[in-house]
Structure formats: C-alpha cells, structure tokens
C-alpha cells in the first residue's frame, strides 16, 4: 500500500474506534471486558499503521536523497576542462585523498599525504571533506526531532556568545508635556560552547578491500544514528556539564507550565492549560514533543465538546496534531512517572544548536588487527541551549509522596 492509502486507512480506523467507544461504553462510562479487548486490538492495529507510515516516509526521504545527482551536469565543450577552483577540504583532491587513506592501511603516496595536510587535526585524525561534512549534518537532521525544529548554526570558534533580552522595556501613558520614563531592554548572554561527542565505528578489512562497498554511505548511516541519538538525548536531558543543556534540565531548561495532579496520568484540562500557559506569540510556531507511550494516553482525551485533543494526520508527510499544533515523538522524552517532565510545548526555534566546523575521522590500524577489523574514531563538537526559557513550557507529573519536582 502507498503512504496515502495507509494514512487514509488509519484515519478511517480512528473514526471506527471513536464510534465503537460511543456505542459500547456502558452507563458507568466503561467498556466491558470483552469490548475492552476488542478496543485494545484496534489500538494495536492503529499503532502498527502509524509505525508503517513513519517507516515508509523515512524510506521515501532516503530514496529522494540517494536519487540526487552526484555530480554537476557537463556543460563545457570537450577538451575544455575547467580547473578545480575549490581549495582545502572542499577540493576534489582532498576528497579523493581522504577516501583513499580510509581504505588503505599501507603506504600512502606523497601526493595523498600532501593533499591531506589541509585537514590534519591536533589529535592525529583528518577533518572530513566539506561535502561529506554537509552530508553528515543533513543525515543528523533527518532522524533528529530536535534538529528539525531548533535553530542551528555553524561556528569556527570554540565559544559563541549569543545576546538575549533579559528584561523587556515598555511604554507608559504620560501627561501632556510630561516626561517620558525610561524603559530600556536589558540584555544578557548565552554562551554556546564546543562539547565533544564521538563514536568508534569498526569495519572489516574484507569490506574495506571490496570496491563495491559504499564506505561513505555506511559512515553516514552509522554516524547519524549513533551521534544523533546521543545529541537528541542531551538536547532533552543534558545537564550542561560536558554536554548540551536540555530543555528538561532544572537549570537553563524550559519553564514548567503545568504540574499534573497525578504522578501517572494526564488530563485533558492539563493539556489545554499547558497550551495556554505558553504566550500567544510563541504558540504560532509551537510544536508538541512527547514520548510514544504518552501519546497513547493523550490520544483518548477529549475537550468539553467531546472532540479529541489529538487528531491523526490526513496527508503524507504531515504530523499528527494536538489542539491544532504538530506532534513529534522522541524516545528520549521521559515517560509518565512521578516527578518526570513528560510533555514539552513551545517554539523550538529558540533552542540554539551550534555545530563547530570540522568533523574528524581517525583510522585505527592496529587496535583491532587481531579480529581483522579497522577502527574509525569519529568526533564532532557542538552545544545546545535554550536562549529564551519562556518560549517552551513543559508539563511535569506530580512528585512522589515525600519528594519535590525539579
């Protein structure tokens, strides 16, 4: 089935689930044991369709990326070859030399070594070619909920200062010929550092010697998966010590908009209250981010008119919505439990991610020689901080008895 057919099937199933509940709920407002089992089976089918839609959408995005032309079309006349005007890590010579040294554990020619001098880093590795670095960052964005919605920028320095408004000035009513009181904005600074994250990728010598093995594609996939997961976890839960500061961190994170009355449940009123706890200007571009298990709880909530707060997407590529705003899920958002911050709602463009230029790959020739493998140590530097805490609000579950929330 196509993505659109699956989306239509899921939407119809959602309507059928709604009709089933309305028809089968007894006078006490609950389902019988038999009907509850039937509804649970429908829910399972709904979740399976959702997973399949996401899988097909991801495959479609990958296909589109792979089908992009690898080279610019030839427009010059024969025998009129133009010189490579790019230099340094952007040049074809550097790109070719980088991949030759990645595959070759033996002697490197003087030509290759000279070309790689452009990208030697302080730790003995080589900076990846510019084009490949761009591919890696794009791959991170595809699978990373945060990068899709946050503000990202690239810096060449270790620390980047961002000016932010600490307090806002205002206007006043004044008497005729009266003095206008001063009311200036005051500014603070948010410092974006360069925290180091890395992963070790092992490849068999047999694969490296196989010219048909697409080493670049393998590195891209593994780098994006491993680094992407570590990044996203930190963007949500990082404490700022050697890693980014997450939005759920008690210091430097988002503001608590609502504290749930229960440690293990969320009500429709609490979701609506969280929606309106965010100031109107931020709601225009706001998104919801929560765990998949939390979506299953919220999916059953209705407003006072009987309409579900959560609504399924009706077109391919479009997200589901809660109260009309897009919903995204991440495994790194805490599940519903005592004291946890379980739902985030806000304009994630106020979370800034700074990528330090220069992703490094270092080949480890001897370390895994006994298993006929070669190690590649990949590292990058980045940081992330919420520049305006009021731009994102979170829902926090009631703390366990005898404790207090963060």
* Per-residue model confidence as pLDDT tens digits over 236-288: 999 999 999 999 999 999 999 999 999 999 999 999 999 999 999 999 999 99
Contact criterion met (CB below 8 Å) for 381 and 333: no
What is the pLDDT at residue 344? 98
Pairing of strands 151-155, 351-356: parallel
Q: What are phi and psi of 290, to 5 degrees?
A: -155, 170
What is the pLDDT at residue 21? 81
Give the SS3 label for residue 316. coil
Q: Which tens digit of pLDDT belongs to each residue from 78-96?
A: 555 555 556 667 778 777 7
Over 80: is that where the pLDDT of 68 sits? no
What is the pLDDT at residue 369? 86
Over 90: is that where the pLDDT of 397 sits? yes
Q: What is the mean pLDDT of the chain?
A: 83
**Tokens 């689930």 belong to residue:** 17
Over 60: is that where the pLDDT of 401 sits? yes
Range name among 78-92, 122-136, 151-165, 335-349 with the lowest pLDDT average: 78-92
Contact criterion met (CB below 8 Å) for 316 and 122: no
Residues in the chain: 406
Average pLDDT over residues 206-224: 86
Over 80: is that where the pLDDT of 173 sits? no
Percent of the chain with pLDDT over 70: 79
Average pLDDT over residues 114-120: 55
Over 60: is that where the pLDDT of 314 sits? yes
Which of 197, 193, 195, 196 has the alpha carbon at shortest distance from 160? 193
Longest Cα–Cα distance in the chain: 88
What is the pLDDT at residue 235? 97
Confidence of residue 36 (pLDDT cuts 50, 70, 90): confident
Range name among 119-123, 308-312, 320-324, 389-393 with the lowest pLDDT average: 119-123
CATH architecture of the domain 129-153+195-406 equals Alpha-Beta Complex (3.90)
Q: What residue ranges do the domains of the chain occupy?
A: 1-66, 87-119, 129-153+195-406
Confidence of residue 111 (pLDDT cuts 50, 70, 90): low
Which of 381, 386, 388, 389 has the alpha carbon at shortest distance from 159? 381
Cβ partners under 8 Å of residue 41, min gap 6: none
Q: Which tens digit of pLDDT belongs to each residue from 331-350?
A: 999 999 999 999 999 999 99
What is the pLDDT at residue 25? 78
What 8-state DSSP symbol labels residue 120? Answer: B
Over 80: is that where the pLDDT of 141 sits? no
CA distance 392 to 378: 33
Average pLDDT over residues 379-402: 92
What is the pLDDT at residue 124? 57
Q: What are phi and psi of 345, to 5 degrees?
A: -140, 125
Percent of the chain with pLDDT over 90: 36
What is the pLDDT at residue 122? 56
Write down the pTM of the prediction: 0.75
Over 60: is that where the pLDDT of 22 sits? yes
Confidence of residue 15 (pLDDT cuts 50, 70, 90): confident
CA distance 24 to 31: 6
Confidence of residue 324 (pLDDT cuts 50, 70, 90): very high
Cβ partners under 8 Å of residue 35, min gap 6: 20, 24
What is the pLDDT at residue 169? 57
Cβ partners under 8 Å of residue 161, min gap 6: 189, 190, 191, 192
53-60: long-range pairs with CB below 8 Å, 24+? 53/3, 53/6, 53/7, 53/10, 56/3, 56/6, 57/3, 57/316, 57/317, 58/142, 58/143, 60/3
What is the pLDDT at residue 194? 87
Give strand pairing partners of 113. Answer: none
CA distance 304 to 296: 20
User: Which one is predicted more confidently, 178 or 47?
Assistant: 47
Over 70: is that where the pLDDT of 120 sits? no
Q: Is 89 left (phi over 0), alpha (psi -120 to 50) or beta?
A: alpha
């Amino acid at each position: 089935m196509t993505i659109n057919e699956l989306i239509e099937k899921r939407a119809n199933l959602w309507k059928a689930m709604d009709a089933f509940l309305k028809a089968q709920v007894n006078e006490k407002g609950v389902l019988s044991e038999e009907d509850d089992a039937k509804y649970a089976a429908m829910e399972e089918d709904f979740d399976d369709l959702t997973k399949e839609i996401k899988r097909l959408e991801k495959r479609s995005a990958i296909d589109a990326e792979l089908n992009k032309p690898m080279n610019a079309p030839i427009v010059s006349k024969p025998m009129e070859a133009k010189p490579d005007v790019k230099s340094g890590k952007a040049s074809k010579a550097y790109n070719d030399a980088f991949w030759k040294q990645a595959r070759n554990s033996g002697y490197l020619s003087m030509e290759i070594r000279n070309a790689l001098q452009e990208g030697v880093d302080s730790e003995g590795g080589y900076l990846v070619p510019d084009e490949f670095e761009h591919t890696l960052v794009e791959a991170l964005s595809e699978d990373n909920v945060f990068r899709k919605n946050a503000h990202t920028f690239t810096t060449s320095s270790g620390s980047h200062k961002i000016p932010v408004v600490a307090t806002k000035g205002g206007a006043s009513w004044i008497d005729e010929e009266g003095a206008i009181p001063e009311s200036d904005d005051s500014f603070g600074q948010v410092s974006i550092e360069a925290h180091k994250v890395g992963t070790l990728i092992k490849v068999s010598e047999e694969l490296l010697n196989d010219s048909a093995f697409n080493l670049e594609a393998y590195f891209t996939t593994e780098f994006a998966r491993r680094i992407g997961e570590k990044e996203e976890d930190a963007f949500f839960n990082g404490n700022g010590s050697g890693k980014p500061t997450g939005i759920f961190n008690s210091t430097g994170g988002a503001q608590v908009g609502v504290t749930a009355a229960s440690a293990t449940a969320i009500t429709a009123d609490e979701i609506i209250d969280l929606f309106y706890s965010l100031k109107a200007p931020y709601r225009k571009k706001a998104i919801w981010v929560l765990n998949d298990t939390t979506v299953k709880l919220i999916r059953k909530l209705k407003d006072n008119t009987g309409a579900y707060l959560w609504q399924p997407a009706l077109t391919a590529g479009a997200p589901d919505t809660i109260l009309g705003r897009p919903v995204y899920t991440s495994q790194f958002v805490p599940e519903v439990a005592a004291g946890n911050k379980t739902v985030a709602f806000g304009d994630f463009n106020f979370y800034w991610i700074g990528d330090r230029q220069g992703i490094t790959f270092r080949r480890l020739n001897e370390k895994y020689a006994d298993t006929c493998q070669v190690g590649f140590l990949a590292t990058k530097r980045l940081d992330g901080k919420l520049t305006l805490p009021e731009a994102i609000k979170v829902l926090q579950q009631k703390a366990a008895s005898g404790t207090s929330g963060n």
